[in-house]
Structure formats: structure tokens, C-alpha cells
Amino acid sequence: MMETKMIEGIKTVIPHIESAIHQISGGPVAWERFTSRAQGGVGGFPQTLENALFNSLSHHSGVKGLWLCGDTIFSGAGTIGASVSGYHVFQSITEHKYTI
């Protein structure tokens, strides 16, 4: 089974991976079903001229106290983009301005 093969490979780097609290394995069909991402897509909106950079969604929702972050909010897709969007929210809601 593919799942077993993948876990055995991961164990070469993370020996105690099987002690994880919760694990769900799946492919694009499962990802689509549980996340409502079309065709199992990952990474938010496609980065086109129409929805990138200055036309992207802001972390400011327009509703007091409601902030947005994740891979569909500026600054883009992936772990780094989602993390940076959270950092933008942090900067906006705190009085302290930190630098990375």
C-alpha cells in the first residue's frame, strides 16, 4: 500500500512519526471532498494579473475584529505565503511592530 511505503520513507527522517496523534492519508479526490478544493487543488487562487499583488484579497475584512489569513490572502500560496499573511494580521492587530 502506498501509505505504508510513504510512512516507512518518512520514518528514516522522523523515526517516531507513528506516534502522531492523528493521521489522515488521501489523494486529490479526498482533498477535494474534505476541503472543497476543485479537483484537489492546493494553493488558493491562481496568481494571475487580475488577482495578484495589488488586486489580491487583503487581510482586512472590512468587519471590525475579523481578520483574514491563509493561502488565498496576500501574500500568496504555500506555507510561506500563508505564514506571511498571518504575520500581516499580527502586525495589524498589535501595537508592537516587530520585524522578521
Structure confidence by residue, pLDDT tens digits, 29-79:
877 787 777 776 666 666 666 666 666 777 888 888 888 888 777 766 677
Helices (H) and strands (E) in the chain, counts: 3, 0
Examine the pLDDT at 99 and tell me if it is beyond 60.
Answer: no
First-residue to last-residue Cα distance in the chain: 42
Give the predicted TM-score (pTM) of the model: 0.46
pLDDT for the residue 12: 92
Q: Which residues contact 8 (CB under 8 A, 6 or more apart)?
A: none
Give the Cβ contact number of residue 87 at 10 Å. 15
C-alpha–C-alpha distance, residues 96 and 26, integer Å: 41
pLDDT at 89 over 70: yes
